[in-house]
Structure 1
Amino acid sequence: MVTTNHTSVSHTVFQLLGIPGLEEHHMWISVPFFISYVIALLGNSLLIFIIFTTPSLHGPMYLFLCMLAGADVVLATSTVPQALGIFWLHAGEISLDCCITQLFFIHSTFISESGILLVMAFDRYIAICYPLRYTIILTHALIGKIGVSIFLRSYGMIVPIIFLLKRLTFCKNNIIPHTYCEHIGLAKYACNDIRVNIWYGFSVLMSTVVLDVVLIFVSYVLILHAIFHMPSRDARHKALNTCGSHICIIILFYGPGIFTTLAQRFGRHIPPYIHILLANICILAPPMLNPIIYGIKTKQIQEQVVCVLFTKKKKNLV
């Protein structure tokens, strides 16, 4: 379906192709997508349930982890069902409004996760550098305000993109060689000048994700400085261990994105389907692995998971 403008025709329906070049393998590719999505949903839902129902886990670190788990569920749900529809049912048709809605949730949730990781770095800084004032500084009221600020920042930065896209006339093409919609990927099909979109997208990236990375780096410089000035070796080991899970998640979240950016910038001879697969890994890997990492490296969460599973098993036997 199309709507007419004064000078040209603007597409209101687009076709997502999935992973062009690998169409014959879509059914096999859908298997890791589906497994990753199920693990992400179950793992993050279990994590949220355990934190909410266990009073001893209502500390700042676990509340921030609960926010991260919620964002992971939204990020995975914004992309994977659409991709599975393409792989299984060839249902790649998507309206312009749905496409913009999808990219809104993808971009805003990505920024939210970046903000949560920054706050978690601040949490570790307070816990290690000011342990006696930890609970005094990070009160539940402050945590609530921080959570609201994170989501207001992410949504506030992405809302203008909706209007920047709505003003465009999409008359070049309506075939999108991807599994989901994203800002510049959609804007490039417009006949209008999209320099505003490009520069705004760049400014959003620099003022959110890139700034967060810099501040996380500064936080860990201060944390490591404090750790290596601790007199006890056991104290240093314990302090480093408390940061282990967070460092793993930081690498998992930012690592694929950095690699994808470098591949797009310097890998001109890399097949397009590789870039699409890397983009999907950026979306799929963190939601799937975050709860596993915290489950393995955090003793309190391990104990509660065992308790929940054991209790359910015992009830079933009775």
Structure 2
Amino acid sequence: MNRFGKILLVAALVAVVGMAFRVSWNALRDIATATGADPTAATLYPFVVDGLMALALVATLVLTGRARLFALRVLAAYTIASLVLNFVHGMVPELHGDRVDWGRLADWDPANWALVLLATSLPVGSIYFGSDLVAKVLHHRPASPVSTLDANQDEQQRHGANQSPPDLPESTPAAPPPVEEPAPVESADPAPDTAPADPAPLHTAGVADRPRRGATGRVPAAARSVRPARTPEQLLIEARQVTADWPDTELTAEAIRKAVRTAPAKARSLRDTLKAERAEQAAGDAPDVPRVVAA
């Protein structure tokens, strides 16, 4: 709605409220006259009742919390009181003129006493409740946006705590823990079970400055280097060529494993085979010793 429409709506509201107050003013003035008020007091009496209603309505728009609830109760109480007095004014024709006796608003005595008590207590209530509402409005401090946000967050947390588990929103499942390689089992041979690490690849200037991320699991098979599998005969031939000029003291499983790049178990098997071949070769190359026969 534009500004002109808002102004027109407020002006229409003020006109309707003004006309309603004029209708109620006539009934409340006659009620005040019947309870013994002079002409001046009877003229001001409608402002005491309906005026406090307007004040309570404005207070409900400003106050918050319990203070706003108090203003709503005052507004409801004075609205009901004004409605009752207007109803009595319509039911008792004598109130429209000067023929009614003072203090007589109903033929039944208990109802008359209650109506007179209501009509005479409204001005005193207006003094008390009106002063209280004005004091609450003057001492009211509007909440800052930060405190309003905190209050909304607390309300959401309390609402979430009161929900049952099926009603709560599902959270994102946590990432699975990284899969670690099983630790190698050490054997009696002093040779380690892991193959030597390949030399670190060369990095470019842009890649070398980046921080390295931690391991997240096993290396996929597609990323591993493909190396042809060798048969035991091929490993033995390669080991013979590499260790041809090695002395027997250097013929160990660790040295063979590093030279031919194979597993520790295969390296130990190659060591035993090579030592056996060298022992047979040494026994075949030894000269025959003649036997001495005793005469």
TM-score, with length taken from structure 1: 0.27
Which has the larger share of strand? 1
Q: Which has the larger radius of gyration?
A: 2
TM-score, with length taken from structure 2: 0.28
Which is bigger in relative contact order (C-alpha 8 A, separation at least 6)?
A: 1
